[in-house]
Structure formats: structure tokens, C-alpha cells
Structure 1
Amino acid sequence: MDIRNKTILLTGATGGMGSAIAQKLASEGARLLLAGRRQERLEVLLHALPGQLHRTIVVDLESQEERSQLINVCKKEAIDILINNAGICQFSLLESTSEQSLKAILATNVEAPAHLCQALLPVLKNKPEAAIVNIGSVFGAIGYPGYSMYCASKFALRGFTEALRRELSDTAIRVHLLSPRATETDINSQAVNALNQTLGISVDSPDFVANELLSLLLSQRSQQKTLGWPEKLFSRINGALPGLVDGSLKKQLPIIRKYALLNQQKS
């Protein structure tokens, strides 16, 4: 796919990953509809991008009414590509996760992408070529302690994307799932950064993820891509032999609990 002059909706545009993706796509000549919750951060991003035709849209994706308003804008703009990048991640033990956080994670990470895909399919089907990219996570293939609700949402998004890709396999719409591993963004608390460092977990840059997303869009077929090694291997082992991963993560459990409790105390 040639993304020059394509109109792209990018949700979660002002996060670390979203900003990097916006810069990459704009530098390739795409026109962006930048969706996020904070007008001032959207304006800063807008003025930092190459190109003059980008647009900002303030939206809270937890609100069905605001999602509907965003959908109306996208229909008028006749978007070519939908990138569901917005997401909420909370590092906490399940017993310490509030009902409000539980609902917010599911609404943002599952309900909003599904709603946007469903509502915008008629627009995308009218294009000679179009694409949907859902940003998943390696935790959509590996259930990890301290991230039970986040894992639940990303497992759901992975299943949704897989089914949708197969539903649309006889159309011109390419459906991709990009699943990063740990990434350097503001979504990570100090406790999460400390946990990653203690366990020796590798962390990718937002620019790396943005480059991988661009490669998906430029590809000639729908793809499901997991980033990072050994995370890619672990996700495959978990699918075939989950008991092996159970044993490995059980050894990490005391450290994970320590940092989860520390994160709770600071939040």
C-alpha cells in the first residue's frame, strides 16, 4: 500500500507511541486525523508534523457519544486507514484493581476499537485499498501476573482482529495486529520501569514500533506481528505448552508482587 495522501485516523495520538507513529506516517506523506483526550497536547503534536492538512479531534474513547462524534468526522473525511492505538494499561494485582479501572480498560482497549471498526467498515469498503491496524501487546498472547485486566483486553483484541481479518479476507481491506513488547512510554510508572530493569526485560523505543507499523502498512497482505525476542518465542510456547510458562513466571511472582504493591502505594 502506498500511504501517500491517504487519510488516516490515529487514536491515542499524543502518547509516546502515538506521537512516534504520527511523525513516521506524516513524514511518508499521509494526512492524519489525530484523536486524543488533550487538546493542548494534540496542538503541540500537530505543529510538529510535516504537512499542512492534518487535523486534531478531541475525544474520550470511553464515551460512546464522543466515539459516535469521531465516527461522523471520519465518515465525512472518508478515511483510508484506521489505526486503533489508544489504550490503557494498569499494573496492579487483580484484588487491588478498582471497578472503575476495570471498566475503563475494557472500554478503551476492546469496546472502542470494535465500535470504530464496525462503524467505519462501510467507508473502508468503498476504497480501492484500505487498512485497519489494531495495536495489541505481547500480553495478548501471554497472561502475565500484575496485568490481568490488561491481558484480558489484549487477548480479546487479538481474537477480534483475527476473526475480522478472516471476515474481510475477500475484500480490499487489510487487517493487521501489531503486538509490541515493553515500550518506553509515559504509560509506564516508576514501579513498572523498576520491575523491567530487575527482571532484565528489554524495552523498545516508540520509534522502533512506529517503523514496524509502517512496514505492516506497506506490506501486500494482512499480518499479525509480535515484536521482540524472546517474547515472540514465549508467546508461541505459551500457546502450545502453557505449563512451561506457568513455571517460569511462578519464579518471578514474588518480585512482581513486590513492585505491584509499590505501584499501588504511589498511585
Structure 2
Amino acid sequence: MRLSEARVVLTGASGGIGLAIAQALCSQGAEVLAVSRHREPLRALQAQYPHLLHWVSADLTTPEGRQNVLMTAQAMRGVNLLINAAGINHFSMLEQLPGDEIDAMLNINLHAPIQLTSLMLPLLREANSAMVVNVGSTYGSIGYAGYATYCASKFALRGFSEALRRELADTRIGVLYVAPRATRTSMNSPAAQALNSALKSREDDPEHVAAAVIHAIAGNRRELYLGWPERFFVGLNSLLPTVVDKGLRKHLPLIRRLSHSSLEEKTKP
């Protein structure tokens, strides 16, 4: 896809990765409809690209919010790229996670992109060439303690992407699934950051992730997994999951301790 000809609907546009993707797209001449609840993080970028970056406020977990995105997109000169980048995460052992936070993760990470993609497909079909991009995670391929619900949402998003790609195989719409590793964004709680530091997990800047995503879109890729050794462990987990089980089990005491400290922090008056 020629990025200078891209007309994009981008969700999660005010977040770390989403904002970096918006910047990268606009710098290539793409017209972007930025979807987010908050406009403030986008103001500087809008000032820089007033004719390319548009904003719409929407709660993607509601039918009304998704319909608002569709109606705004219909007013554009057509849409040929949908990027589902909105997402949330909570680092916590499952029994410590309130039910409303479980629901929120599943609604934003999984239900919203499926529902919005369904609404947007007729618009995408009108384009000569189009693409749906779903931003998942390495944890969409490797289950990790402390992230059970998050992993469930991203495993499902990966499956949705694969099935949708096959469903659209005889159309002009491609599907790209993106799996970043740990990324330096505000979505990471202090406890999650402490875990990454203790395990010496490598982290990427949002701009690095965005550049890789843009390159994958331009190259009409099907999948993009970022980071080494993360790509190796994804392959190992699919072939020899018991080996990964044993390797990750030794982290359990640390994960339990940090998730407990995170719970105490949240419940402080």
C-alpha cells in the first residue's frame, strides 16, 4: 500500500503506540481519522498536519460510539486502512482482578475491534486495495502469569485476524496482525515496569513500533512480531510449551509479590 494514498481510521490514537503511528502516517502523507476519547495528546500533531489529521471522540465499547466513527469515516474521501490500536492492560493475578476490569479489557481489546471492523468492511470493500491492522501483543502467543485476561483478549484477537484474513482471501482487503513486545507507554503500571526491570525484559519505544508497523503496511505483510528473543519464544511455545512452562514457573514468586504490591497501591485511600 502506498502510504501517501492511505485514508486511515486509527483507534487508540492518543495512546503511546497509537499516537506514534498517527505521527508516522501523517509524515508519509496519509490522511488519518484519529479515534480517541481525549483530544489533548493530539493537538500538537493536528497543528502540524491540519489537513491530514482529523479527530473524533468515541467510546468504542458502545454501539453509539462505533456508529459515530463510521459516520465520520463516511464523510472522508473513502477509507482504505483500518488500524485497531486501542487497548488496555492490567497486571494482576486473576483472583485479584475486579470483574469490571476483566470486562473492560475484553470489551476494549477484543469486542470493540471485532465490532468496528464489521461496521467498516463495506467502506473498505469500496477501495481498490485495503487493509485491516490489528495491534496485538507477544502475549497473544505466549500465556503469562499476571496477564491471564490480557492474554485471553490478545490470543482471541490473533485468532480473529487469522480467520478474517482467510474470510477475505478472495477480496482486495488484507489483514495484518502486529505483535509488539514490551513497549514504553503509560499503559504499564509501576508494578509491570518493576517486573520488566527485574526480568531484564527489553522494551521498545512507541516510535520504533510505529515505524515497524508502517513498514509492514507498506509491504502488505500478514504478520509482524517485534523483538528478539520474543520471536524465538513464540516459536518455542508453539512447538514445546512444556519447556516454556518450566522456564516461566521460576518467575511466579516475583510475579505474585509485584502483583500484590500493585493491589495494595490501588486500594490505598
TM-score w.r.t. length of structure 2: 0.95
Please list, as runs of the form range in 1=range in 2, the aligned pairs for 1:185-200 lying within 5 A after superposition: 185-200=185-200
SS of aligned partner of 1:32: strand
Structure 1 residue ranges without an equivalent (≥5): none
Q: Which range is displaced more, 137-146 or 223-232?
A: 223-232
TM-score w.r.t. length of structure 1: 0.96
Which residue of the partner structure matches residue 173 of structure 2? 173
Which residue of the partner structure matches residue 210 of structure 1? 210
**1:1-48 CA deviation, whole Å, 9 max, x = no partner?**
10114210111011111111111110000011011011333334422x
**1:192-241 CA deviation, whole Å, 9 max, x = no partner?**
1111010110001101100111111111x441111111111111111111
Count of aligned pairs: 265
Partners of 1:44 and 1:2 in 2: CA distance: 25
Which residue of the partner structure matches residue 182 of structure 1? 182
Which residue of the partner structure matches residue 11 of structure 2? 11
Which residue of the partner structure matches residue 56 of structure 2? 57
Partners of 2:191 and 2:45 in 1: CA distance: 28
Please list, as runs of the form range in 1=range in 2, the aligned pairs for 1:144-163 lying within 5 A after superposition: 144-163=144-163
Partners of 2:236 and 2:176 in 1: CA distance: 22
SS of aligned partner of 1:4: helix
Is 2:218 aligned against 1:223?
Answer: no
SS of aligned partner of 1:133: strand
User: Counterpart amino acid of 2:73?
Assistant: C
Which residue of the partner structure matches residue 126 of structure 2? 126
Inter-CA distance 85–193: structure 2 relative to 1 (3 Å threshold): same
Please list, as runs of the form range in 1=range in 2, the aligned pairs for 1:254-265 lying within 5 A after superposition: 254-265=253-264
Paired-residue identity, %: 42
Partners of 1:20 and 1:39 in 2: CA distance: 15
SS of aligned partner of 1:200: coil
Following TM superposition, by how much is the alpha carbon of 1:51 offset from its aligned partner in structure 2, in angstroms?
Answer: 5.0
Partners of 2:224 and 2:41 in 1: CA distance: 29
SS of aligned partner of 2:49: coil
SS of aligned partner of 1:127: coil
Partners of 2:167 and 2:108 in 1: CA distance: 23
Partners of 1:30 and 1:262 in 2: CA distance: 44
Is 2:78 aligned against 1:70?
Answer: no
Which residue of the partner structure matches residue 250 of structure 2? 251
Cα RMSD of the aligned pairs, angstroms, is: 1.2
